[in-house]
Each structure stands twice: as C-alpha cells, then as structure tokens.
Amino acid sequence: MRPLFFPVFLALAAPASAQPPRVVTDIPPVQSLVAAVMGDLGRPEILLDQGGDPHHFQLKPSQARAISEAGLVFWVGPQLTPWLDRALKGLGPDAQAVALIEAPGTYRRSYGTPDGHDHDHEGEADAEDQHHGAAAPDADHDADDHAAEEEHHHHEGTDPHAWLDPENARVWVLRISGALAEADPDNTAVYEANARSALDRIATTETEARQVLAPVGDRPIMVFHDAYGYFAEHFGLSVAGSIAMGDAADPGAARLTGLRDELRADGVACLFPEAQHDPAYAEAIAEGTDVRVGAPLDPSGSTLAYGPDLYPALLTGLARTIADCVTGSDG
C-alpha cells in the first residue's frame, strides 16, 4: 500500500468561512467520496442524472448554473467528461475545480500500452501539468478495415476509470479533505476525521471484495466496455476483452465480427453487459457458445443510491456480480 499523508495548510492559506462551500461533483463515486469527507457539514451536489452515462452526458441549464455558483467542483478529469471541462470555464473567480485524476499519488493506466501501465504515478515533477498519451493498440481484426481502424484511433491515452482502484480512492479522499480544509479552514479537524473514517471503510471494503473474488481466480471474463482495467489489475482478474471501447460508444460491425471466436479462443467464462447499454450485444455474441452472460455491471454506480455508502457498495457489487457468474451461483 502506498504511504498516504494528510496535507498541512498554513493558517493564512484561506480566509475563515462562515459555512462550507457549495460543492458540485461529476459522477457517483466522486460524490460518494466527497460526501464521506463532508459528513454532516453538507451534501455535495452531483451532475450525473440517476442512471446516466458519464461518457455521453449533456448538462441542463440548471446544472450549468450550479457549476457557476459552486465554490468547489470535484471531478475525475477531462478524459472522462469533456463536457464538464467546457462548463468549468464558467466557474467564479474564487472557485476551485479539482481534477482528481491529477491528484499527486494517483495511479494512472493507459489504454495504449501492452501492460496497461502508462507509468504515470503523480507526484513526479510537474506531473499535474502533463498530459500523457499512448500509441493506439493494434487492431483486433483486419487492419484494412476502416471502421476497426477508426475505433482503435479513439482508444488511446489515459484510462479515466481510476476510481475502481481502491488505492486511488484513498489518494482522492485525502485530496478532497485537503481542498475542503483549504476552502473551509474552520472545519479542518472535521474533514480530516471524516477522511480517516473513509479510509478505514475503503480498507474494509477492499478486503471484502478480495474475499468475494477469490473463487474467480484467473478465469477470463469479457466486459461491455473497457472500463475495468483498474479493478481487474488491483484484484488480479483476467479481462480477455470488451465489446465496446473505453468511451462506451456502441461497437461497430467490424468489432463484433470476431468476438464470438475470441470468446472460445480465450476460454472466457462470463460475458457481462452493462447498465445504460443494450444487453442484446452480449446476448447475441454469447449465443451458441458455452459462455455465461452475467448480470449487468455498473462501473460508475449510476444505478445505486447516491451518498457515502455508494463507493463501498460499488466495489462489493462489482465483485459479487463477477463472482456469481463465474462460479455459477447466479442461477
């Protein structure tokens, strides 16, 4: 486990505030971590509608107004939600936007390198100001197929689904605590105490998820879109591939053509559809094979109840859904 340290702020870093700032978040896991740190001091707002897809979301006027009136905005970063990157230009002069994927200590994977690592552990010199890309992976199918080339062209750079690594969640809790304390120094002790409790709960959740996943071993699974690299790497899972790419766009015919053969060749145990996306893709690919189709996965927790309990429920829910299908205990 990487060592974590609470940031220390000088007394003059920010003026005392009468109440906590208005806080806006982008997606459910971020809202959950912020809610855990804020505790009874306030409830962070969330932009993503219940059941929404962060990759393809459009802000409503009321949500844009909430951003413009916020004192703090916590978001993953532009790699996940470019629509929010544009909206943040409307922040007030005294407001702060915190891109958590750029927090020092965050482990960032790349879509494009063979081992999935872009070797971008924040904290190196000027790391927060750098943007790391990577070469696109080789096409899965006919290199002359224009559609396949187009899909892979967009499947490169940093994988933004970093919250699915509990180590990153720990780093983010501390970054959140520090930003809140800087904006609201009168409540620094509360934020730090809540952060310690959140870290303890993440550790407990991680242990539970690892126990649930133990029977899965290295049996390969296939997922709907390339969002599970952090989760798989952290918990030692084998993901043979995905139906769609990392932006969750519906797959084209070129990508679907060889997936059934890949299922057999890789010995895939389970194929998982995903919340917010048509399960027909998974069902059609698995038809005529021995591959089980599991319950839908929900990597952003958009179908869960928002709040501090969501992040633990997200990790254990993913673990149980995967384990139930692979072991056949889902019926």
Task: Please count the other Cβ atoms lying within 10 Å of the Cβ belonging to residue 102.
Answer: 19
Burial category of 238 from C-beta neighbours within 10 Å (exposed 0-12, middle 13-18, buried 19 and up):
middle
| Residue 214 confidence (pLDDT) | 98
CA distance 121 to 106: 6
Express each pLDDT in 212-263 by its tens digit.
999 999 999 999 989 999 999 999 999 998 988 655 566 666 667 678 888 8
Beta-bridged to residue 193, according to DSSP, are none
| Residue 86 confidence (pLDDT) | 86
Residue 95 tokens, joined: 């407001």
| Residue 247 confidence (pLDDT) | 59
Domain 23-130+137-207: which CATH number of 3.40.50.1980, 3.30.1490.100, 1.10.580.10, 3.40.1410.10? 3.40.50.1980
Cβ atoms 6, 175 nearer than 8 A: no
Would 23-130+137-207 and 214-327 be classified into the same CATH topology? yes
Helices 188-213 and 28-38 meet at what angle, rounded to 10? 130
CA distance 189 to 198: 14
Amino acid identity for residue 97 in this structure: A
| Residue 1 confidence (pLDDT) | 56
Beta-bridged to residue 223, according to DSSP, are 242
* φ and ψ of 261, to 5 deg: -65, -35
Report CA-CA distances (Å) from 309 to 198, 202, 317: 10, 10, 12
CA distance 284 to 289: 10
CA distance 259 to 286: 9
- Domain limits of the chain? 23-130+137-207, 214-327
Per-residue pLDDT of the chain (331 residues; tens, 9 = 90+): 555 555 444 333 444 445 899 999 999 999 999 999 999 999 999 998 776 777 767 788 889 899 999 999 999 999 999 889 888 988 888 899 999 999 999 999 998 544 444 444 444 333 333 333 333 333 333 333 333 333 333 457 899 999 999 999 999 999 999 999 999 999 999 999 999 999 999 999 999 999 999 999 999 999 998 999 999 999 999 999 898 865 556 666 666 767 888 888 899 999 999 998 889 889 888 888 889 999 999 999 999 999 999 999 999 999 999 999 999 987 6
pTM: 0.81
* φ and ψ of 153, to 5 deg: -60, -35
At the fourth CATH level, the homologous superfamily of domain 214-327 is Nitrogenase molybdenum iron protein domain (3.40.50.1980)
Give, in degrees to the nearest 5, the angle at Cα 125 between 123 and 129.
85
- What value does the CA radius of gyration of the chain take, rounded to a whole number of Å? 20
**Sequence-distant (≥ 6) Cβ neighbours of residue 126 within 8 angstroms:** none
